[in-house]
Amino acid sequence: MESMISVKGLTKAYASGFQALRNIDLDIHRGEIFALLGPNGAGKTTLINIICGIVRPTAGIILADGHDVVRDFRAARSRIGLVPQELSTDMFEKVRATVSFSRGLFGQPPDAARIEQVLRAVSLWDQRDAKIMTLSSGMKRRVMIAKALAHDPDILFLDEPTAGVDVELRRDMWAMVRGLRASGVTIILTTHYIEEAEEMADRVGVISKGEIILVEEKATLMRKLGKKQLRIQLLTPLSAIPTALARYPLELGGNGCELVYTFDTQGEGSGIAGLLRQLNDAGIGFRDLHSSESSLEDIFVSLVSARA
Ligand SMILES: Nc1ncnc2c1ncn2[C@@H]1O[C@H](COP(=O)(O)OP(=O)(O)OP(=O)(O)O)[C@@H](O)[C@H]1O
Ligand SMILES: [Mg+2]
């Protein structure tokens, strides 16, 4: 797979001496949506700011589309659009003017048609002449995205794009980001909403205390670490798990009225038929069955807590 961003041996110690990133190796593939997940203070923004050339690395080599982000800053930065975590823009400025201005900052010639395209892509064309201060916060975020896209970058960083955005707007935003990917933009987003990574990402990276602890295809991750649970509602409560069922990983719940069977999603359906037969043989009747699958959130919580 071709690398759009390549990070090797990246370490960052802030002036305070605080070690924010430790020996990070990471490759982002051309055309993917990569979600970087991690708790507050894990180092997500630091990593993004270093790749964007805003913060200097202490050690390591970072290439963006083949350009060294430190030595060849201008070339690297021109490939990158960044929507920072903290919104900052001139509130008195009008939407279209501010987006056009951003394009100019990267030395691109004015291009009214392109600016229109970008504003339409983020559903802000109708607001093109509105002052930014008059927009809702979801719209302001989209202005930031339009600004980041104004110079036609191939790589887009979205640092917490939907923090504080309501569910409906978040869905709009996801659709928009997917549209950008379809147009060939490589997207890296950070998020606290695991639902967002689950919904959007092709691959997921988990960062904790300045270290990347896992990078995986989302589907593989869910398959590898996902668990399924089968909840069996019993007709008569049990006081203990019968010895005949001892070889199954079962737990008794609901005051003895429920048997909970946990298994890996890898061995899809493994053992259920046998378990139900055993229940029957042991004369344990049940009235209902429910199955559930762990979400990326469950996986994430167990990954991060396992290392705490
Ligand atoms: N300029 C700075 N000087 C010193 N320490 C800093 C600086 N910027 C960030 N840090 C520290 O580096 C660590 C990582 O911060 P960073 O902002 O990268 O985390 P994050 O994963 O983006 O968190 P959040 O989810 O809250 O946005 C934190 O402990 C933070 O306090
Ligand atoms: Mg951050």
* Alpha-carbon torsion (119, 123, 125, 128), positive or negative: negative
What are the structure tokens assigned to 32, written together?
A: 């993917």
Give the model's pLDDT for residue 308: 60
Give the model's pLDDT for residue 298: 72
Residue 255 CB–ligand 1 contact under 6 Å: no
DSSP letter at 164 equals T
Which residues lie below 8 Å from residue 172, measured CB to CB, with a gap of 6+? 123, 138
Question: What residues does each domain of the chain span?
Answer: 3-223, 227-307
Residue 42 CB–ligand 1 contact under 6 Å: yes
The mean pLDDT value for 200-222 works out to: 89
Name the CATH architecture for the domain at 227-307: 2-Layer Sandwich (3.30)
What are the structure tokens assigned to 52, written together?
A: 């964007």
Q: How far is the CA of 212 from the centre of ligand 1 (A)?
A: 15
Give the model's pLDDT for residue 253: 86
How far apart are alpha carbons 178 and 201 in whole angstroms? Answer: 10
Residue 43 CB–ligand 1 contact under 6 Å: yes
DSSP H or E segment with residue 206: strand 203-208
Residue 14 CB–ligand 1 contact under 6 Å: yes
Ligand found nearest the CA of 212: 1
Query: How do the residues of the chain divide into helix, strand and coil, expressed in percent and rounded to 5?
Result: 35, 30, 35
Q: How far is the CA of 19 from the centre of ligand 1 (A)?
A: 10
Instruction: Answer yes or no: are the C-beta atoms of 229 and 262 closer than 8 Å.
Output: yes
Query: Read out DSSP for 69-94?
Result: TTTTHHHHHHTEEEE-SS----TTSB
Least confident piece of the model among 12-26, 97-111, 292-306: 292-306
Closest Cα to atom 29 of ligand 1: 41
Q: Which CATH number fits domain 3-223: 3.40.50.620, 3.40.50.300, 3.40.50.1820, 2.40.50.100?
A: 3.40.50.300
Q: How far is the CA of 45 from the centre of ligand 2 (A)?
A: 4
Residue 120 CB–ligand 1 contact under 6 Å: no
Residue 85 CB–ligand 1 contact under 6 Å: yes
The mean pLDDT value for 147-175 works out to: 86
Ligand found nearest the CA of 55: 1
- Which position has the token pair 């053992």? 271
Q: How far is the CA of 154 from the centre of ligand 1 (A)?
A: 26
Give the model's pLDDT for residue 269: 53
- Edge to edge, the sheet with strand 227-234 lists 250-253, 258-264, 227-234, 286-293
Q: Which residue has the higher pLDDT, 263 or 17?
A: 17
Q: How far is the CA of 266 from the centre of ligand 1 (A)?
A: 37
The mean pLDDT value for 90-113 works out to: 92
Among 259, 260, 257, 253, CA closest to 236: 257
Residue 290 corresponds to which amino acid? H
How far apart are alpha carbons 76 and 6 in whole angstroms? Answer: 12
Ligand found nearest the CA of 44: 1
Burial class (CB in 10 A: 0-12, 13-18, 19+), 105: exposed
Q: How far is the CA of 80 from the centre of ligand 1 (A)?
A: 21
How far apart are alpha carbons 251 and 21 in whole angstroms? Answer: 41
Q: Which atom of ligand 1 is nearest to the CA of 38?
A: 21
What are the structure tokens assigned to 138, written together?
A: 């979801």
